[in-house]
Amino acid sequence: MYNKEYLERLKKSKANWESETLSRSQNGSNPENPDHFTDSRIPVKQLYTPLDLEEAGFDYLEDLGFPGEFPFARGLDPAGYRNDHWMMMQYSGFASAEETNKRFKFVLEQGASSFSIALDLPTHKGLDSDDPLAEGEVGKTGVPIDSLQDLEIIFDGVPLDAAKMFICVGMSTGPIILSLFLALAEKNGIDPNSFGLFLTNEALMEFVCRGTQFTTPAGHHKLSSDVIEYCTRNHPGYSPMQLCGYHTREAGATAIQELAFPLAIAITYIEEMDKRGFTIDDFAGKFSWFFSSTLDLFEEAAKFRAFRKVWAKIAKERFGAKNPDTWNAKIMIYTGGSNLTRQQPLNNIVRTTVQALGGVLGGVQWANLSSFDEAFQTPTEQGATIALRTQQILAHETGVTSTPDPLAGSYFVETLTKEIETKVFDYLEKIEEMGGAIKAIEKGFYQQEINENAFQQHQDIEGNTKIKVGLNKFTTDEKVAVTPLKYDPESEERIVTRLKRLRAERDDGAVRDRIDALRAATEAGKNVIPYILEAVKVYATVGEIGAVFRDVHGAYSEDKIYL
């Protein structure tokens, strides 16, 4: 990168600077032995120069290149955000199908072109609202969807083809959610390919972080793969899978683990689809990636830059992808909710601003911001509005969108990007030695790695090694002006009553026939999506369908993780 004569001059100048710095330093820190670290415990030197890039073997064309070109360190779009900003999104969920319908009509009137549906916990778990395990959780974290009837209520007067994209966050229930949308389109006489459907549909990470899985890792892997196959054959415009690192970060993972763990999972799907006769170019161009953006600004920007490089190399060099769209890692972020504090909650506005800036400087495609009151409850209207305005200020008032990848060439950021890339590949190698992501999850490797780092993070805050403003330093006696959301038990009662009425009025014989056909197809190892679709058309419930998979693939047990 630089000629030898220049590097020698630079080394001498740096040595002189270090000598003078050490003699003046009050704390006696050695620039080459740092006492500062990123949030992922990557050492941070006191100073970065071209020598660091030279030491790392940095090559502009191979490691950086140009925006819109392999390996995409500088972003997917040659123009960056100059022409189009990232998509500013607001994740939302409501206590009932009726309330969700009202909100969707409102945002449609305001010119919205996409809808995001948050599901409640029982729906995520493949349970019906009247299941004893669902009691007290119905409608709390999102809308309950028990059957096609609920989707009919949600979209009553909201034509499916009026929107460009529907996003539904259901990791474990992805196959059922897909089938429900297809059934609704058919019932309304709408071409299912006239709108976009964005499915999360990746349950393996649920075993590690959130716990919404309802059958075994192998069982969920099969179901998610069925969705990829079915969409690839019949609905190529849909996004059949979003690989998620966000929940690992919220659970305590480092930035390295946040990238490596879902990448290893993605490899299992690519290998499975290869067995089914597909090439990576047939489907992976529709994958997207969901990550957290936390408070270590430069590490976060470097993280997203490094991830694009890693994915591009895996897709092109390992799996032989020829389509540039397959090489592109499309990234969605949600700012780190676990970074927020209940103490001095208005400080969270500053935190989410920095988090969002890290994502923007890293060149992401979609962004959701936590609301300042999210440490207390589902965001209020005020909190959600401020979160949206924060993105708009970043886009229109700060100048960060004027040029693609404005941090490119920074000695620190480029060194950090390359180090993150190397560490991610190291993790992937370790996981492969274990037999792949599914084996690593079953052995508890993912869980143990995350738990160890989470414990250390807690210790750092408890011991004041890491400062959290308002929590362990700069504290004040305050009266917090946030009223926590109160749960309405009558809402759950109404939802359960409607579900029982549905069961009494539907054709039970038809439901039994379709569930039996689904069971037979599951036992035979067939692609189950056509059978789920036929079942939901006659109003089979999410819980009835989920029970089939639990029966055939087995119910998940924590005791079986540590083998």
C-alpha to C-alpha distance for 536 and 533, rounded to whole angstroms: 5
Give the pLDDT of residue 350: 97
Tell me the domain boundaries of the chain.
Answer: 62-462
Least confident interval from 96-105, 173-182, 357-366: 96-105
Under the banding of pLDDT at 50, 70 and 90, the label for residue 378 is confident
**82 C-beta neighbours (distance < 10 Å), count:** 12
**553 C-beta neighbours (distance < 10 Å), count:** 20
C-alpha to C-alpha distance for 477 and 357, rounded to whole angstroms: 30
**Average pLDDT for residues 468-481, to the nearest whole number?**
88
Of 448, 405, 68, 491, which Cα lies nearest the Cα of 248?
Answer: 448
Q: Give yes or no for residue 166 having a pLDDT over 80.
A: no
CATH topology of domain 62-462: TIM Barrel (3.20.20)
Give the pLDDT of residue 91: 64
Query: Above pLDDT 90, what percent of the chain?
Result: 77
User: What is the reported pTM?
Assistant: 0.93
13-66 pLDDT, tens digit per residue, is: 999 998 887 666 655 455 555 679 999 999 999 899 999 999 988 999 999 999
Under the banding of pLDDT at 50, 70 and 90, the label for residue 559 is low
For 360-381, give the DSSP string: HHTT-SEEE---TTTTTSSPPH
Q: Give yes or no for residue 164 having a pLDDT over 90.
A: no
Task: Report the sign of the C-alpha dihedral through residues 223, 336, 423, 453, in that order.
Answer: negative
Q: Give yes or no for residue 93 having a pLDDT over 90.
A: no
Give the pLDDT of residue 562: 32
Of 384, 356, 382, 372, which Cα lies nearest the Cα of 85?
Answer: 356
Q: Are 243 and 251 in contact (CB under 8 A)?
A: no
Asked, as a colleague might, if the bond just before 236 is cis with ω within 30 of 0, I would say no
Give alpha helix (H) positions in 402-507.
411-433, 437-442, 445-462, 489-505
Q: At residue 118, what are phi and psi to the nearest 5 degrees? A: -95, 130
Query: Above pLDDT 70, what percent of the chain?
Result: 93
C-alpha to C-alpha distance for 554 and 61, rounded to whole angstroms: 50
Give the pLDDT of residue 23: 67
